[in-house]
Structure formats: structure tokens, C-alpha cells
Amino acid sequence: MDGSTAGTRYDETYAAWRRDPEAFWMAAARGVAWDRGPDRAFDPGQGVYGRWFLGGMLNTCHNAVDRHVQAGRGAQPAIIYDSPITNRAPVTITYADLQSRTAKLAGALAARGVGKGDRVVIYMPMVPEAAVAMLACARLGAVHSVVFGGFAAAELAARIADAEPRAIVSASCGIEPGRVIAYKPLLDAAIALSPHKPACCLILQRPELPCDLTPGRDEDLLAAEAAAAPHPCVSVAATDPLYVLYTSGTTGQPKGIVRDNGGHAVALTNSMRMVYGVEPGDVYWAASDVGWVVGHSYIVYAPLLAGCTSVLYEGKPVGTPDAGAFWRVCAEHKVRVLFTAPTAIRAIKKEDPQGALLARYDLSALDALYLAGERCDPDTQVWATDLLKKPVVDHWWQTETGWSITGGFRGLGLFPLKPGSGGKAAPGYDVVALDEAGQEVPRGQIGSLAVRLPLPPSCLPTLWNADDRFREAYLETFPGYYSTADAGMVDADGYVWVMSRTDDIINVAGHRLSTGAMEEVLASHPDVAECAVVGVKDSLKGQVPMGLVVLKSGVTKDEATIAKELIGMVRDRIGPVAAFKDAKVVNRLPKTRSGKILRATLRKIADGEDYVVPPTIDDPMILTEMEGTLRAAMR
């Protein structure tokens, strides 16, 4: 396929960045309102590998909200809350409303002792109050840490213990198809489990399931907000943290990804024009969840930083009420760019393969569909392109980066897309494929994908309270590079193909999960001697986890009972989002002669990839057994 960029501004923009990154990012920084402008773009002498926009002072909430009101855009919708799951009519929040709500909630938090640098955990469903709470923290210079609602109490507890929040903002319940999830018992259990206790909790009472408030600790969020005095924006350093977002690492201990204020505001503001090609006033919709990075960046911060209208959707791609839901929202709110995970499109495709529901809606306002969160299979990308007759752009992302590493760039003119590839490197990223020795492999060959340091603004400067873990996890494998832990290639035309993870992370329905964390849960079952969790191919969710367990000798309990117990344990300890529904008892697991489980080989088998029989394996025949078990589980 033609990889020409002729007629686009991609090559010249990428070259301009390469020639003079300092000038490129200082120019981008002019898109942000600073209380004090930065002295320079990047200082390699600061932090672990350098820091962005030193000397700069700003407030992210001011940039996302107040500055638009000051510029006369107060009456423009900032957020459209569309919640088919609650059957309510969409609610519009203007920039002026958002300013007043944010200032008051910031006042309420300040009155409860939250100040600059303090942490606030936000455990909320997809309601506007989640965005208001995030912005209220940003307004105070407090550091929010949003926890996805599909995690169980133990996962929430681990995040509370690590972030040590002064306050928690939560809701009485979340709503999933067919069930209302009481959040309060989960919150109470998490606080009980955590060694650190917050001083107060502000709880949004939802009419679907109000909850009792714990005296002396909990207060009604809306009442506290209504009674508070508005708080102004607090100026913070560009390098001060805006938020910590925990993401799966290779163990049960999640990694606290740190995002700073200055780099984030610059990169995200720049991305709205450069990557998505939208302008102030345009409607932008990221159909994700505020608990994930895509929700942080493209439901809340970037659209607001750019003065767009952001759709906050509480519903699913299918079943709320049908597979036309996304197209209904696009038509009703005149969405210009939709961003979602390939899984959502696969779910729609499964229920409405001919696009009969899509045909009911006027999608003339929609310019493009962007996909990320997992590799998009070419079939899904081609299906969506044919049906929508608009560009469907895959772009590669990580929680660590906060914006796309590669993609297609509407703001620079779209070059031809190659289905299955994540597009070309975004200006700001020098992406290479390396061999085990850290040498670049020839174009077109698979290697470990890495980004030459420094990473661009918005990417993590470190992990929360864990510089050494940051160095070890990301910088030590290939000195001079950030290791992405994704394998793939850069082709002759410069397109990047992201094929699989090189670590214990799996991607289930666009959700990033650690098989290591699930193994820790399975290993704690009294009858389990050893175990491995692998991601097996799934035609809807991309991958689903499957547990392989070897029982202790003498265990007589039947396999079905053990499997049920294991499934229940993962749901209780990690949460329903793990989608752990398959555990198989096996006689043995493939191991090296020294007794190490061959997880990388198991992963390759599960991915349907060719694998080399490791010379250190104790019994090669077991791999054939494993192939049978894993292939049988694929859907």
C-alpha cells in the first residue's frame, strides 16, 4: 500500500520537530495561558531523564475552564452528559456552569483541608461530577488519582495506600447493564483495608441507589459544593504533579503514573489540532471512562483545554439500548471526532453487521473515528471505514504517555492509512524497533518498540514516589530509550506496527490488566500449587484471561468447584473488569529445568505465534499439550 505523505504537512512538521525540538515545543507552549512563561522547553539536567517547561507557572483548571469564560465563551457547552443507562435526557453544562461548579467544589475541598500537593482519590462512575472533581483538584493544585469503577475494594485500597489521599470523592452507586453497583460498601471495605485513612469523603448521592453516610467521615457532595465559597485557581509550577493514574504493572502492585501540569497542558492542547484536527467550539467524544487515561486526556482535559465541547457518555456501545447508540450520540450532538476502542466497534459490528442501525442517523457532522487501547484488527478497521465512509484512524497509546505515540494526523492532513498499523510517529516521538542488544533492527523487522529519550511533554516524568522503579521498568532495558514493552516494527514507509506486549500485560476489551496480579490471586488459593495466567485470543474483547492451575497433591475437590472459587476470588480481589471467567486445572506447566514457568512461551502459544522450543525446557512435549488447551479456549 502507498505510504506517501505527499500533500500533507506531516513530513515538514516532523522534520521541524526533529531539527529543533526546543523551538517546536516552545511554539506549542504559546497555546497555553501561563502565569509565568517557562524559561525553556526541556531541561535534561532535572528529574530522572529531564523535565519540561521549567520556570513556567500555570493552572490547568484555569486553562481548561476559566480562560474560555474570560474569552467570552461562557455560554458554550463544555460538557454534554449523555446517559442512556439511566434513561435520562442529555444534560448540557456550559463553560460558565463548569467554572462555577468547579470553583465551589474546590472551595469545599479546601474547607476540608485539601491544598496544593495533597492527594484526592476519585472513585466515580461516568457522571459529570467526576470531571468537576478532577478539575476542582487541578484548581487547587491538589493531585487527583481516579480509580476505575470496575475495580474491586482491594485494588482501590492499594491505590489509597500508595497515594495517601486527604480526601476521597465518590458516589453512592454506578450502573452497569442490568445491575446497580453499590459503591459505598466497596469504598468502606477499601478504607478498612488501607493502612492510610482519608480525613473525609464527599459522596454523590445518586437517585438509583442512595447510601448511608458514615458520620464524621462522609458528607453529601452536592450539599458541600452548594454551601462552599468559590475558590480561585492556584498557580503551580509546570513540573508540579496534576494527577497520578495507577495502571497495571507486571506485579499486583500497580504503577502510579505521574502527569505534570505544564507538559500535559501543552501536549494535550497541541494534540487537539495536530492529531484530531478539531477547533474550539467543535464537539469531541471519547467513548471511554474517566478511570482510564483516554478518559483523563480526551473526555476531560484536552477537549476543555482546546475550548471544545466534550461528550461524557454513561452507557455501552451495545445494549443501551442497541448497537446504534454511538451513532445516535454522534448525530444528536453533532460530534466531529469520535474516539473509542476497537472492542466497542467489534461489539457494534457483531450486532449490526450491515449497519442497518447506523443508516438511521445523520452522521454528516462526523469527520473521523479514532481508535486506540489495543491493536485494531484490519477487518474491523476496514468494516468501519466502508460503513462510515470516513477515515478510521488507529493510533497507539499508553497510560504512560497520555497522548498518542503514533497515528494519523488530521491537523496535518491525513496520509493513507494502512489497516493493522498504528500510523506514523507523532512529532515529538522518535520510535524505533530494537533487538535484544539495543541495536535498531532493519525496517520491516520485528523488535522491541522504544522511544529515544527524551519523551515529549505529557509523558510520565517518573512513577509516584518510585524513581527507582521507573528507571528499572522503563529506562534500563535499552539505555538512552524509553522501553514501551510493546513488540512491533517500523516499516519502510515509517508506519509503526504494534503487535503484542513483551511483558505480563494483557488487553481485555481495551482494558489493561496484569496477568501477574491475577496469578498472585490464584496462587493464594489453598489448593493451588502453581499457576499461570495467559491472555487467549477473543474475537470480541481481543484477549481474555485464562488461568492454568496445578493443584497440590492430595487435593480431592472437583475441578469445577475449584474453577468457580478461583473465578470468584479474582472478581472479589481485582474486580469484574478483569473478565476472568476461565480457569483450567492442568497436570503440569511448561518449565525450565531450573523450575521457572515459561510464561513468554505460553504467551506466544496463546497469541497463535510461532515459538522456538526453549533449550532449557524440562519436557518439550508439554508445549503440545498447552497448545491444545489454549487453542480450545480461543473464541
Which parts of this chain interact with ligand AMP (CB under 6 A)?
A: 247, 293, 372-375, 394-399, 422, 486, 498, 501, 507, 512
* 420 C-beta neighbours (distance < 10 Å), count: 17
Calpha distance 201→171 (Å, rounded): 10
* Residue 375 interaction partner, one of ligand AMP, ligand COA, none, beta carbon < 5-8 Å per kind: ligand AMP
Angle at 285 between CA 283 and CA 290, to 5 degrees: 130
* Residue 577 interaction partner, one of ligand AMP, ligand COA, none, beta carbon < 5-8 Å per kind: ligand COA
Nearest residue (CB) to ligand COA, 95 versus 292? 292
* Residue 340 interaction partner, one of ligand AMP, ligand COA, none, beta carbon < 5-8 Å per kind: ligand COA
Nearest residue (CB) to ligand COA, 219 versus 314? 314
Return phi, psi of residue 487, to 5°: -105, 145
Smallest distance, Å, CB 589 to ligand AMP? Answer: 25
Nearest residue (CB) to ligand COA, 317 versus 428? 317
Smallest distance, Å, CB 623 to ligand AMP? Answer: 25
Calpha distance 9→181 (Å, rounded): 48
Can you read off the three cell numbers belonging to residue 386? Answer: 466502508
Smallest distance, Å, CB 147 to ligand AMP? Answer: 14
Give me Rg for the CA atoms of the chain. Answer: 24
Calpha distance 585→627 (Å, rounded): 15
* Residue 395 interaction partner, one of ligand AMP, ligand COA, none, beta carbon < 5-8 Å per kind: ligand AMP
Smallest distance, Å, CB 375 to ligand AMP? Answer: 4
Instruction: Kindly give the interhelix angle for 21-29 and 261-274, rounded to the nearest 10 degrees.
Output: 90
The contact set with ligand COA (CB under 6 A) reads: 149-150, 174, 176, 181, 287-289, 292, 294, 316-318, 340-341, 343-344, 347, 372-373, 509-511, 576-577, 579
Round to the nearest angstrom and report the end-to-end CA distance of the chain: 30
Smallest distance, Å, CB 497 to ligand AMP? Answer: 9
Smallest distance, Å, CB 498 to ligand AMP? Answer: 4
Can you read off the three cell numbers belonging to residue 167? Answer: 480526601
Nearest residue (CB) to ligand AMP, 84 versus 263? 263
* Residue 260 interaction partner, one of ligand COA, ligand AMP, none, beta carbon < 5-8 Å per kind: none
Nearest residue (CB) to ligand COA, 247 versus 343? 343
Angle at 448 between CA 409 and CA 376, to 5 degrees: 45
Nearest residue (CB) to ligand AMP, 54 versus 513? 513
Cβ-count burial of 356 within 10 angstroms (0-12 exposed, 13-18 middle, 19+ buried)? exposed
Nearest residue (CB) to ligand COA, 432 versus 509? 509
* Cβ-contact 99, 74 below 8 angstroms: yes
* Residue 599 interaction partner, one of ligand AMP, ligand COA, none, beta carbon < 5-8 Å per kind: none
Can you read off the three cell numbers belonging to residue 345? Answer: 466497534
* Residue 288 interaction partner, one of ligand AMP, ligand COA, none, beta carbon < 5-8 Å per kind: ligand COA
How far lies 319's CA from each of 69, 348, 506, 580, in Å? 37, 10, 25, 21
* Residue 501 interaction partner, one of ligand AMP, ligand COA, none, beta carbon < 5-8 Å per kind: ligand AMP
Smallest distance, Å, CB 511 to ligand COA? Answer: 6
Instruction: Give the residue among 269, 282, 340 at the shortest CA–CA distance from 308.
Output: 282
* 552 C-beta neighbours (distance < 10 Å), count: 11
Task: Give me the numbers of helices (H) and strands (E) for the chain, helices first please.
Answer: 20, 31
Nearest residue (CB) to ligand AMP, 184 versus 511? 511
Calpha distance 496→407 (Å, rounded): 9
Smallest distance, Å, CB 407 to ligand AMP? Answer: 8
